[in-house]
Amino acid sequence: MTTRKPTKRELARARRARDASYDGVFWVCVKTTGIFCRPSCRARMPLERNVEYAFSPREALTRGYRPCKRCQPTRAPGAHPDWVQRVLQLSAEARDRRITDGELRSAGIDPVRARRYFVERFGMTFHAYHRAARMGAALDDLKGGTEPLATGLGRGYESDSGFRAAFSGKFKATPGRSRIVEQIKVEGMESPVGRFEIGATSRGVCLVEFADRRALPTELAQLEQRLKMPVVPGSNRFVAQMVDQLERYFAGELRDFTTELDITGTPFQRRVWAELVRIPYGQTISYGELARRVKLPGGQRAVGQANGANHIAIVIPCHRVVQSDGTLRGYGGGLWRKQHLLELEAAHASLFAGAAAAAQG
């Protein structure tokens, strides 16, 4: 398993493309302003002659550069800015009512800024996000036995008819049919490789994705379409179990995930993903070997595309597939994350093997 430092030409190309897959690989230091940024920063593009590159925030700081206030390059990848954390906390504390633009302004938050951030990050405005969270909580109330009228009033709707209309618009069913209504609960968690968004239905986990991937809103829309149920902010028992198991995985305490999965994909994709799960912890295989295992010799590109369509990172371990010479290639979360995961597993594989041998002896 090897990685290489990007060439100067590759660094320049990634910077010009604002390629988020290089976030965490290098940082852009702007000589004329004295600040450093992530490659994906949306600030004005500097000329190449005014740029130098660093390969850690510490290196950039040591050279005397200041962190960009816009992209916050010292923040963990995918983590929300502090002001967004305040918005999310406000939403979590107000699942029983609407939040107005005036309330956002009183909290020091620009409603237009919130709208833009939530559209880019979640594929919906903040107000749509908060309505979805309230409606998800209302569905939980109904499934718990609360009557529709009490549920609507308890979630901040001024009339029974208003609540019923909103519920039907979100779930395509009346509150009286709540027992058969399903939803995808999505909640974030922080990790050593950045923030994840974890989604689950009542059947199991359907999403474990890096929160800073630009394709995340598209993935959420695809899940809604494939599973025929809306995405709402919140947690359920499968989300909570996955958070616990991922925390143990990163701590080197867990090798095999046992949380139930709710997998969507084509028959070929599912065949590839089933083979991925069979790759032992701490080991890798090549794309060619993966293609042979799914009985498609020479189908490296096809299995690579199936890897890229995997919505359940780490649990379905597409990071364990490398090129035939051991070098890393093709990981949606960025090659630095792929390397981190493989190094983590390699460091702990011998400990798991030793524990297993001791238990047998």
**Spans of all domains in the chain:** 8-67, 82-181, 185-250, 267-356
- Interhelix angle 82-93/111-122, rounded to 10 degrees, is 90
- Produce one character per residue of 249-266: b if its CB has 16 or more CB atoms within 10 Å, e if not: bbeeebbebebebbbbbe
DSSP 50: G
Whole-angstrom Cα distance, residue 36 to residue 69? 10
Written as one letter, the residue type at 51 is: V
pLDDT for 361 equals 55
By annotation, the residues acting in catalysis are 37, 318
- H/E/C letters for each residue in 94-121? CCCCCCCHHHHHHCCCCHHHHHHHHHHH
């493309």: which residue's tokens? 17
pLDDT for 24 equals 78
CA dist list (Å): 336 to 6, 25, 108: 11, 6, 36
Whole-angstrom Cα distance, residue 148 to residue 145? 9
Angle ∠(301,215,127) on CA atoms, nearest 5: 165
Please give the average pLDDT of every successive group of 10 residues along the chain, which has 361 residues: 69 90 87 94 91 92 92 83 92 94 94 93 92 96 95 94 95 94 95 92 96 86 93 96 97 95 94 96 95 94 94 96 86 84 90 59 55
pLDDT for 81 equals 84
Number of separate helices (H) and strands (E) present in the chain: 14, 10
Contact 328, 307 (CB under 8 A): no
Give one word for 345, left, alpha or beta, with left for phi > 0 and alpha for psi -120 to 50. Answer: alpha
Q: Is the pTM of this model over 0.85?
A: no
Contact 124, 132 (CB under 8 A): yes
CATH of domain 8-67: 3.40.10.10
* β-pair partners for 53: 28
Indicate if 185-250 has the same CATH topology as 82-181: no
CATH 1.10.10.60 corresponds to the domain 82-181: yes
Contact 317, 290 (CB under 8 A): no
Give how far the C-alpha of residue 297 lies from the chain's centroid of Cα atoms, to the nearest Å.
32
pLDDT for 123 equals 86
* β-pair partners for 28: 37, 53
Task: Measure CA of the first residue to CA of the last residue in the chain; give whole Å.
Answer: 32
CATH 3.30.160 corresponds to the domain 185-250: yes
CATH of domain 267-356: 1.10.10.10
